[in-house]
Structure 1
Amino acid sequence: MRYVFDQGEILDESKVSVSIRNKGLNYGLGCFEGIRAYWNEYQKQLFIFRIWDHYKRLNESGNSLHIQVPYTPIQLIKWTIQLLRQNNVREDVYIRPMCFKGANTLRPDLTDPFNRVTIYCTAFEYKPKPALKVCVSSWSRTGNNMIPPQAKSTGNYLNSGLATTDALLNGFDEAIFLTDEGNVSEGPGENIFIVKNNRLITPPISDNILAGITRDTVIQIAKNHLFLSVSEHSLSRTELYSADEVFFTGTAIEIKPIINIDHRKIGKGIEGDLTKKIRFHYENIVRGNNPHYLSYCTPVY
């Protein structure tokens, strides 16, 4: 897609560059969001899903990291809608806003005031398998006193990259992090849920997870539509193996069943009934087909 947003302007991407001396690039001093917009062919409309919540979280990440975003969520929403219109997007699309240190200086501090904001959008090419075989990673999730996992920071994704790479090299589709205490945390870019005895359980924020927007949507679906008991509490590694169902959630991966962990079959080894029902509701909500959740869907046209 030809046009991008950079520092208050929508420009042809060929006119935008970042110096190799850039401090944000050299040290991973930035924060970002991943947002999706869904094309509804019947309505001929593009809906951005929970854009306010994403930009609110971007600002919160920036505040946590001393990388203050120089635009309000409302301003960023307006720029994003204009960017999608200018690119004439009429398909499912991924949107990547990022705020990073813009100075070309050597010291890796966060005190300089130049925080650069860019937004680009791209046709969504990430197509994971319908069901995943995963492993518990030998890498621990970064903790609250290392790089705050509640902030979506660029530097923290080296931790994710190491875990995913190890998983792929060992024949798995993805990894699951544990905390240093041995509690289940999350995937490299996903939150995790288990189903046990018709109850939905997910790790709490205190177990070094990102407060996922898809995670929150799933909790609402489970409570309001499926009338499931939902609890947030710490999980041990062995509770993964004995679960009836396990699934990942995330903006990129959406709702994805996990059918095998560490070479152990989960449940019946296929997508479980509750996972399938949650996924069905989620897919309807994001395309603007559920009237109860239209406030989450921002129309572009």
Structure 2
Amino acid sequence: MVDKAKFIWLDGKFIPWDQAQVHILTHTLHYGLGVFEGVRAYQCANGRTAIFRLPEHTRRLFDSAHILQMEIPFSEDDINQACIEALRQNDQKEAYLRPLIFIGDGAMGLHPQNNPIRVAVITWVWGAYLGDEGLLSGIRLKTSSFTRHHVNVMMTSAKGVGNYVNSILAKREVTKAGYDEALLLDTAGYVAEASGENIFMVKNGIIKTPPSTSILPGITRDCVIVIAKDLGIPIQEARFSRDDLYIADEAFLSGTAAEITPVRELDDRRIGTGKPGPITKKIQETYFDAVHGKKPRYDSWLTYV
């Protein structure tokens, strides 16, 4: 259950949480065409609150909307300022932020015609997405029977609302079987990503992650790539199979919600020692230092409120 904040920014105005309602004929509710972002704000070591990589998230929001032919009636700066002001209005030192672009009510049928493009920014307090214990000790993955989208089936570079039906089906499937998260393969059978996170494996001191051709190009994924290079750890974007992952020395997931979550097991096979490995822990430690403003090298990733 999400704890209510005081206000939600909707179409340019802050309104009380319980009044942020839409009509039952809202087009996106029926047909799934919309885009969104997930952003986190952290309280930094200096006591101030900073939104992590806000401009990059907003840029991807606009890119996603462009791919899906949705004209956002606000500028990127408007959205950035709405995110900052939402935290102030809600007196939140740490929060998850959800910018959402959706098609309002009007015409029905697949073509939304001139229905309004509506915009919201919602903030709520959200802890570790895959659990505090998962961050500390690692999680159990299971390969889903559902396949990740092909690039000509869904627009995989867009963070589209409807794309996540695939993720929901996979997540439900594996959690019902007792696992923490789903691993999805691409249409060629190679590892793609988890239901809501990108994936990395470590073998012989080299980090590998699937190429961004058929997955959402994660912003946290980009952080991992930058951090690894800064730490002098070799990193490659390359295809690998799930049996490659079975015999990896380490594995971990990345995402705004999941942050850096180690993987201790896949398909009932222990990954490495079954505990977070040294490279995973170093990446995780550096990432958390960065989001909390403890690494001046990454201060450009922080937008202070």
TM-score > 0.5, shorter chain as reference: yes
The answer as to 2:6 corresponding to 1:6 is no
Q: Which residue of 2 aligns with 1:108?
A: 110
Q: Residue by residue, what CA displacement relative to the aligned partner does 1:38-97 show, whole Å, maximum 9, x if unpaired?
A: 012x4221010000000000000000011222222211111111111111112x210000
The answer as to 2:187 corresponding to 1:180 is yes
2:81 maps to which of 78, 83, 88: 78
- Per-residue deviation, 1:261: 0.4
Aligned pairs for 1:160-171 within 5 A:
160-171=167-178
| Number of aligned positions between the proteins | 296
Contact 2:130–2:180 (8 Å) recurs in 1: no
In the alignment, structure 1 segments of 5+ residues that lack a partner are: none
2:253 maps to which of 245, 248, 252: 248
Counterpart AA for 1:95? L
Which SS does the other structure have where 1:121 is aligned?
strand
Q: Which residue of 1 aligns with 2:144?
A: 137
Contact 1:35–1:54 (8 Å) recurs in 2: yes
Q: Which residue of 1 aligns with 2:56?
A: 53
Q: Residue by residue, what CA displacement relative to the aligned partner does 1:210-232 show, whole Å, maximum 9, x if unpaired?
A: 100000000111001x2011110
Contact 2:211–2:238 (8 Å) recurs in 1: yes
Counterpart AA for 2:24? I
Q: Residue by residue, what CA displacement relative to the aligned partner does 1:233-280 show, whole Å, maximum 9, x if unpaired?
A: 111121111111010000000001111100001000100110000000
Q: Segments of 4+ in structure 1 off by > 4 A?
A: none
Counterpart AA for 2:98? R
CA distance in 1 between partners of 2:183 and 2:105 (Å): 35
CA distance in 2 between partners of 1:263 and 1:139 (Å): 18
Counterpart AA for 1:201? K
TM-score, structure 1 length as denominator?
Answer: 0.96
- Per-residue deviation, 1:15: 2.4
CA distance in 2 between partners of 1:49 and 1:9 (Å): 23
- Per-residue deviation, 1:127: 4.7
Which SS does the other structure have where 2:108 is aligned?
coil
Q: Which residue of 2 aligns with 1:34?
A: 38
CA distance in 2 between partners of 1:110 and 1:48 (Å): 33
CA distance in 1 between partners of 2:199 and 2:112 (Å): 32
Task: Note closer, same or farther for the CA distance 1:108–1:250 as it changes in structure 2 (3 Å cut).
Answer: same
Counterpart AA for 1:191? N
CA distance in 2 between partners of 1:244 and 1:104 (Å): 54
Which SS does the other structure have where 2:275 is aligned?
coil
Q: Which residue of 2 aligns with 1:213?
A: 219
How well do the aligned residues superpose, as a CA RMSD in angstroms? 1.2
TM-score, structure 2 length as denominator?
Answer: 0.94
CA distance in 1 between partners of 2:283 and 2:168 (Å): 28
The answer as to 2:264 corresponding to 1:259 is yes
- Per-residue deviation, 1:14: 2.4
CA distance in 1 between partners of 2:71 and 2:113 (Å): 10
Q: Which residue of 1 aligns with 2:96?
A: 94
Which SS does the other structure have where 1:152 is aligned?
coil
In the alignment, structure 2 segments of 5+ residues that lack a partner are: none
Counterpart AA for 1:210? L
CA distance in 2 between partners of 1:278 and 1:108 (Å): 44
CA distance in 1 between partners of 2:57 and 2:247 (Å): 34
